[in-house]
Chain A
Amino acid sequence: MTLDDLTKSSGEWLRGTGPESDIVMCSRIRLARNLADFPFSNRANRGEKTEIEAHFRSAIDQAGLELTYIDVNGLGLLDRKFLVERQIISRELSDGEGPRGVAISSLENIAIMVNEEDHLRVQFMLSGFRLPEVWDAVNQLDDRLEEHLAYAFSPQLGYLTACPTNVGTGIRVGVMLHLPGLVQTKQIDKVFRALQKINLAVRGLYGEGSQASGDFYQISNQQTLGKAEPELIKILTDVVPQVLQYERAARQTLLNERRQHLHDQVSRAYGVLKTAQTITSEETMLLLSSVRMGIYLSLIDDLSIATVNELFLQTQPFFLQKLRGTELGAEERNVARASYLRSRLSNGRQAPRN
């Protein structure tokens, strides 16, 4: 698998197949792990980072894990940003320096970052609301790696991490939610405040929290020490269904009280995306969000949810440049984006993938 192959496929988590996938785009869990015999990444020199990388790569071979290792240090800016857009690596890994990389599975469920803030960030994600399944998978993956790696661990403080905010379980349990109903009925802030009160973090699609990120929000735990992993997961599996209920109620309110207005908004959004000749990333995200909601409310019936989910990522600046194989200025990107959207959304037939 090469980076160019990635432009022709998409991650499993975008397929919209899991439970509650009208609202829950994906469930993901990451574990922060460090090798016992090395300083943390920020104090490790080039040689040490190279050794850490080598230990990890030999561990995935010995464990028989079928993962592709991407050497991020050897990638140009365009490729690195492309991986960030795809949610495979973090901005921190992209902007970092020295030996570092990511190991991914062919369905992109697994992404293990090496030499990020911690030596290893082991991540597993699935489409829909499936946190217990994701935990089983990431837990097993961690066990298999651990057979070949000595992790920094203390009986009192658990897994030792570069930042004390991750110490203990090193776990971040998160769901990515699409909440256009709560945004449009202006209830979103209320929901966020309630979530923050119970110590959950709320972020946008790429960390920011605005409508420009397509009404996507990530909710995750902050506490990592003192509670076992299943307890931390339960906090989310208890609270997320309530958020889903609020979002469904908000969508229903929009349908009941402003059906014509909503249908108009959705149809116009779809129309613009299908016919625009030049379009910005912000406008695209905003319109795709309406279209995504429209599909689930049966206001649009000729478009698959997987296509819309993919388009959120595939209309990002670096994906387009990767697809064209060249750097593009903002104006050129807007034209390329519109053209890509037209080809993917052309009515009644499956558009060619390239």
Chain B
Amino acid sequence: MKCQKCAKPATFHITDIVEKGKHREYHFCDEHARQHLAPPEEALEAPTMSEIAKNLIVTNAPGSPREPSPADKQACPVCQITFLEFRNSGRLGCPYDYEVFRDELMPLLENIHGETRHSGKVPRRAPRNTQQQTTLIQLRNELKRAVAAEDYEAAARLRDRIRGIEQEQGR
């Protein structure tokens, strides 16, 4: 059987219940089935900032969304987010991502802000040693995995290292 909307073979056979006792049958290829099943578009509202960002990210990031970018599979060693996940959600996973995805993010920042260098307030206390920050996030991740794997010996070691760094930082 062919798809009702094109020449491809129909692989989806859908029965919609129109009202009580009445139904309608559809035969679609993958693509048209997806179109048919997609919820109607929501009423137009003023786009929120994250939507604007998402559009910018989707349209401006290297490689269009359909054409995966070589960076898509790249993952942050600290929080494990992939560049593709960021492109889909518009949100980064941790402060270190700005380092990891630097080459991809710079053109994006240029597009959003027209600039790529901060000017303005600087925290009074010197920013914490970056190495220590990322190590902490990484160790916490390893701790999570160790606990999940019930490797309590490793977990105890990791906890000690985390405490050590935290104490060094004076907290």
A residues adjacent to B (C-beta < 8 A): 34, 36-40, 42-43, 45, 48, 117, 139, 142-143, 146-147, 150-160, 162-169, 171, 201-204, 207-209, 222-229, 231
Q: In the complex the two chains form, is A226's CB within 8 Å of B123's CB?
A: no
Most buried by A among B53, B121, B128: B121
CB-CB under 8 A from B116, the residues of chain A are: 156-157, 225-226
Could you tell me if A167 and B136 are in contact, using CB atoms closer than 8 angstroms? no
Cα separation A164 to B78 with both chains bound (whole Å): 18
Smallest CB–CB gap between A77 and chain B, Å? 21
Please tell me if B122 contacts chain A, counting CB pairs below 8 Å. yes
Q: Which residue of B lies closest to A38 (CB)?
A: B137
Cβ A36 vs Cβ B48 within 8 A: no
Contacts of A163 in B (CB 8 A): 49-50, 53, 90-92
* B95, B124, B127 — most chain A CB neighbours (10 Å): B95
A–B Cβ pairs within 8 angstroms, 9 of them = A38-B137, A39-B78, A40-B94, A150-B128, A153-B122, A164-B108, A168-B118, A168-B120, A222-B49
Tell me whether B117 and A162 are in contact (CB under 8 A).
no
Cβ of B125 and Cβ of A146 under 8 Å apart?
Answer: yes
Cα-based distance from A117 to B116 in the complex (angstroms): 22
Smallest Cβ-Cβ distance to A168: which chain B residue: B118
Rounded to whole angstroms, the CA-CA distance of A63 and B56 in the bound complex is: 39
Q: Mark B54-90, 1 if CB is under 8 A from A, else 0.
A: 0011000000000000000000001101000000011
- The answer to whether B112 and A165 have CB atoms under 8 Å apart is yes
Enumerate chain B residues within 8 angstroms of A36, measured Cβ to Cβ: 95, 127-128, 133
From A153, A164, A168, A208, give the contact of B123 (CB < 8 A). Answer: A153
- The answer to whether A228 and B120 have CB atoms under 8 Å apart is yes
Please, how many angstroms separate the alpha-carbon atoms of A116 and B117 in the complex?
A: 25
Query: Given A39-B94, A146-B125, A168-B113, list of 20 further CB < 8 A pairs?
Result: A37-B137, A40-B95, A117-B91, A150-B128, A151-B127, A154-B130, A155-B118, A157-B98, A158-B120, A160-B98, A163-B90, A165-B49, A165-B50, A165-B53, A169-B121, A204-B46, A222-B112, A223-B112, A225-B115, A226-B119
User: Do residues B133 and A37 form an inter-chain contact, with CB atoms below 8 A?
Assistant: yes
Q: B125: which A residues are within 8 A, CB to CB?
A: 146-147, 150
Question: Closest residue of chain B to A165, judged by CB?
Answer: B53
Chain B residue numbers with a CB within 8 Å of A223 are 112-115
Interface pair B113/A37, CB less than 8 Å apart: no
Closest to A192 in B: B46
Kindly state whether residue B169 has any CB partner on chain A within 8 Å. Answer: yes
**Which B residues lie within 8 Å of A171 (CB)?**
120
A148 to B50, CA, bound (A): 30
Tell yes or no: B52 within 8 A of A by CB: yes
Complex Cα distance, B93 from A250, in Å, reads 47
Contact A225 B46 (CB under 8 A): no
Q: Which residues of A contact B137 (CB under 8 A)?
A: 37-39
Taking the complex as formed, is B150 at the interface, i.e. its CB lies under 8 A from any CB of chain A? no
Per-position 1/0 for B118-147, Cβ under 8 A of A? 111111110110100100110010001000
Give residues 89-114 of B contacting A (CB, 8 Å).
89-95, 98, 105, 108-109, 112-114
The CA of A158 and the CA of B118, in the complex, are separated in Å by 5
Shortest CB-to-CB span from B56 to chain A, Å, is 8
Pick from B49, B95, B118, B123: contact of A146, CB below 8 A: B123
* B169 CB → nearest A CB, Å: 7
B169 and A150 contact, CB distance less than 8 A: yes
Min CB–CB distance B145 → chain A (angstroms): 12
For A202, give the chain B residue with the smallest CB separation: B46
Shortest CB–CB separation between residue A89 and chain B, in angstroms?
A: 15
- Distance of A231 Cα from B117 Cα, bound (Å): 15
CB–CB A43/B81 < 8 A: yes
